[in-house]
Each structure stands twice: as structure tokens, then as C-alpha cells.
Amino acid sequence: MSEPDPVKDEPVAREPLFRAPKVVLIVIAILVAVHVAIQLGGQNWQIWSLYAFSFIPARVSGAAPFPGIWGSQAWSFVTYGFLHADMMHLFFNSLWFLVFGSVVARRLGAFRFLVLTCVSTIAGAAAMLFIHWGEAAIMIGASGAVSGLMAAAIPLMYGEGLRLGDTYRRDIATVRPLRPLEILTNRRALIFTLVWIAVTLFSGASGWTGGSFLEEARIAWEAHLGGFAAGLVAFYWLDRRN
């Protein structure tokens, strides 16, 4: 009688289907709490919060004065990501934050996950500032952060898992992420990326997933692309193995 193969017979570790890292759930809870608090605060509170925390290129560039408080020019690079135009805008951002943020948080851990999220948010605002320098456009929403998390998830979703005997385990901690150029040569990763870019540009033109630009009711596709690029770069930097 042959001895059982301890590697082959080892049970495959699997992540529960609906369990998300705590840091992801906490961030989503904060986004929901901020939106509810602003909506319940009345019109004056809504207007004050919008001008104090949204990202406005004209205010940052000094092209035009806007109501606000000390520091709005600086912290609005991040705080705009906590504001949303309506429930649909909040729902879509929270949904994609849950899906792609969970993948990234399991790989990087809570602290590096938050760093990547913050970098992507700032990069989204920087892209808006560069393209819309001096314009009086009010931008809100966590889409820059979500785009960065989506970019960071691509090398993991299509990376190589760890082979154990005849099993193939895709433990996110042991996956070898795609290298940057491999995203262009991996057919599935490339298609996913191109489809995302197409959807981003389409939603930016049509506004079908909600409005990041309040006065125009359209998606800030520029912030999406800026967050995406920064999230991808930040992932490779934060995921370095010694």
C-alpha cells in the first residue's frame, strides 16, 4: 500500500467568499457615515462641507477665490474622496472599493493599503489640476482611490499562484504578481485594462455611474486615469519583497 502524499493531500486554503479585510470595511463605513452626516446636516452644512473639502482646481491654482477654511487648498487633495454627489455615486464607489480593495488589502496589509489608497486619491486630484488648471470645477468622490486599487489588483488577479503537488492554490500572499510589462503581454490582464479604460472614458462622457463634477454631472475620467497610474506604480513599490 502506498503512503499518502502529504503535499498532495494537504487541504487547499480558501478565503471565505464574502469576508473582506477589516480596513476595507472601515473605510467604506466612513464613506457612508460622511455622506449620511452631510445629508442630514441640512443645506447650509452641505454647502459648507462642499466648499471646505471638495477639490477645486481654481482655488488651488489661485485663479479664483472660493469659500473655505484654512488648509482647504492642501487637504482637499485627499478630502474630496470622502464626498459623493448622491447615493448612486456612493454605491458604485463602495462596491468597487470592496471588490478590488479586498484583493489589495489582503496582499499589502492595512497600513500599506491605506498608503496606496491615499497616493491614488492625491494623484487623481493632481491629474485634474494639471488638465483643468484654473478652472472653477468642483470635484468629489472616491473614484481616484478606487481606480488605483483596481490597477493594483490587476497584477495579483492575473499573477501566478503557488503549485502544491497536483493542486493550484491562489493564496493572495503567495501569488507572484505580473511584472509591469507582463500586463501588456498577458491577454486577460490587457483585455481587462483596455475594457476598464473604455468604460471610464464612456462613463466620463455619459455620466452613467454618477457625477464627480457637480456642475456638469459627469465623471472625472481624468482623476480615474491619474489614480490608476499612481496605484499601479505604488503597488510595485509597496509590494517589494526583501
Instruction: Show me where the domains of the chain are located.
Output: 22-238
Residue 127 near residue 212 (C-beta atoms within 8 A): no
For the cut 90, the answer to whether the pLDDT of residue 233 exceeds it is yes
Give the lowest-confidence range in 48-62, 105-119, 219-233: 48-62
Q: Report how far residue 27's alpha carbon sits from residue 92's, in angstroms, rounded to the nearest whole number.
A: 14
pLDDT digits (tens, 9 = 90+) for 170-185: 678 788 999 999 999 9
Q: What pLDDT score does 210 carry?
A: 44
Secondary structure (3-state) at 203: helix
* pLDDT, average across residues 27-50: 93
Read off the C-alpha cell for 199.
468604460
Q: Assign 3-state DSSP to the chain and report helix, strand, coil percentages, each to 5.
A: 60, 5, 35
* pLDDT, average across residues 69-77: 80
Residue 211 binned pLDDT confidence (cut-offs 50, 70, 90): very low
Q: What pLDDT score does 64 carry?
A: 60
pLDDT digits (tens, 9 = 90+) for 130-144: 988 888 888 899 999
Q: What pLDDT score does 111 carry?
A: 96
Closest CA to 147 of 64, 43, 221, 60: 221
Amino acid letter at 81? G
Residue 42 binned pLDDT confidence (cut-offs 50, 70, 90): confident
Q: Which CATH code for domain 22-238?
A: 1.20.1540.10
For the cut 50, the answer to whether the pLDDT of residue 198 exceeds it is yes
